């Protein structure tokens, strides 16, 4: 009986210890998975426009502009300062490494094509994909100047097609269609509101938040001014937008769309 009792006790202790070990291993594994699940690719707002001047062996510096898009495409523009060469523009796709903290640009040979992705900046890596060290290491940083959401709506011409839920029909006195153009350089807008041309500034805030300011117009008088008046009132009211790649909506809070535009062209 004693032998049977001690055997049962030893078996119980073994099962308890084994269970604890399994639990710790599971907990440790889960912890590692949680750590690995947070990376630059899924935790940072990495899409946007990055600019900087990186060191150059035989020129004043290489002005570098890199546009990273959410669809994993890129545009790289490099200009050799102090030389008369035309800027080099390369377009293609990029991939993330296994740790999702570095990207590699396709279509580039015999030149650095990898970047380490940080918060609001990226570092150009050396030919072997490693961080550049030394006194000039920080000079290889490209800093973010425009966010991905800004890229989505900027540098496009939008034709107004609806105003306060009603289709916009051009009057017989109207010289051209009502439109607005977003220019990423300086966050500027300009366009035509039915009788007068206008220009001003825009600011993006948080997720799809937007506001317009310093909007000025020419001072022409036309037979029909109601649509223009309503259009400018909407610019003052708008605090967020929705863009699906083809149509742009101006909204206020969660109200029905104030205005709806269609993309005509972009650059």
* Coil vs helix vs strand at 234: helix
Q: Which helix (H) or strand (E) holds 167?
A: strand 166-167
- Inform me whether the pLDDT recorded for 14 exceeds 50: no
Give the separation between CA 193 and CA 185, rounded to whole angstroms: 22
Q: What tens digit of pLDDT does each residue of 62-105 get?
A: 999 888 888 898 888 888 998 877 788 898 999 999 999 999 99
**Beta-sheet strands, E only, within 174-254:** 179-183, 188-192, 197-205, 209-217, 240-243, 247-251
- Inform me whether the pLDDT recorded for 43 exceeds 60: yes
Residue with tokens 């550049």: 132
Give the separation between CA 53 and CA 55, rounded to whole angstroms: 7
**Arithmetic mean of pLDDT, 115-140:** 92
**Arithmetic mean of pLDDT, 202-229:** 89
**Arithmetic mean of pLDDT, 39-50:** 84
Report the predicted TM-score, pTM, of the whole model to 2 decimal places.
0.51
> 107: Cβ–Cβ under 8 A, 6 or more apart, which residues?
90, 91, 92
- Inform me whether the pLDDT recorded for 185 exceeds 50: yes
Of 183, 170, 176, the closest CA to residue 197 belongs to: 176
Instruction: Name the burial class of residue 162, with classes exposed (0-12), middle (13-18) and buried (19+) by CB atoms within 10 angstroms of its CB.
Output: middle
Give the separation between CA 247 and CA 243, rounded to whole angstroms: 6
* Coil vs helix vs strand at 192: strand
Of 4, 108, 126, the closest CA to residue 54 belongs to: 126
Q: Which helix (H) or strand (E) holds 150?
A: helix 148-153
Instruction: Provide the pLDDT for residue 174.
Output: 81
**What domains does the chain contain, in order, with CATH numbers?**
43-148 (2.40.128.640), 154-266 (2.40.128.270)
C-alpha torsion angle, residues 164, 165, 167, 169 (rounded to 10): -10
Share of the chain above pLDDT 70, in %: 82
- Inform me whether the pLDDT recorded for 168 exceeds 50: yes
- For residues 111-130, one letter each, b for 16 or more C-beta atoms within 10 angstroms of the residue's C-beta and e for the rest, the string is ebbbbbbeeeebbbbeeeee
170: confidence class by pLDDT, cuts 50, 70, 90: confident
**Arithmetic mean of pLDDT, 131-151:** 82
Q: How many residues are listed for the chain in this entry? A: 267
């Amino acid at each position: 009986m004693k032998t049977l009792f001690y055997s049962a006790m030893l078996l119980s202790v073994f099962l308890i210890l084994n269970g604890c070990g399994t639990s710790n291993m599971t907990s440790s594994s889960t912890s590692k998975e949680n750590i690995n699940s947070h990376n630059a690719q899924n935790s940072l707002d990495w899409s946007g426009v990055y600019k900087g001047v990186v060191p150059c062996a035989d020129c004043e510096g290489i002005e570098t502009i890199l546009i990273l898009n959410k669809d994993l495409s890129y545009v790289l523009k490099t200009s050799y300062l102090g030389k008369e060469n035309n800027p080099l523009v390369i377009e293609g796709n990029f991939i993330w490494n296994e740790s999702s903290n570095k990207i590699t640009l396709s279509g580039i040979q015999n030149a650095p094509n990898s970047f380490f992705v940080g918060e609001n900046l990226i570092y150009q890596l050396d030919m072997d994909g490693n961080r550049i060290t030394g006194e000039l290491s920080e000079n290889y940083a490209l800093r973010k100047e425009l966010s991905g959401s800004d890229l989505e709506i900027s540098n496009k011409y939008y034709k107004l097609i609806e105003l306060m839920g009603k289709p916009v029909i051009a009057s017989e006195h109207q010289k051209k269609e009502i439109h607005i153009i977003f220019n990423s350089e300086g966050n500027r807008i300009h366009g035509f509101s039915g009788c007068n041309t206008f220009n001003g500034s825009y600011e993006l805030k948080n997720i799809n938040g937007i506001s317009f300011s310093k909007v000025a117009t020419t001072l022409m008088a036309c037979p029909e001014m109601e649509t223009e008046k309503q259009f400018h009132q909407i610019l003052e009211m708008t605090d967020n937008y929705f863009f699906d790649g083809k149509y742009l909506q101006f909204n206020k809070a969660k109200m029905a769309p104030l205005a709806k535009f269609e993309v005509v062209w972009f650059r």
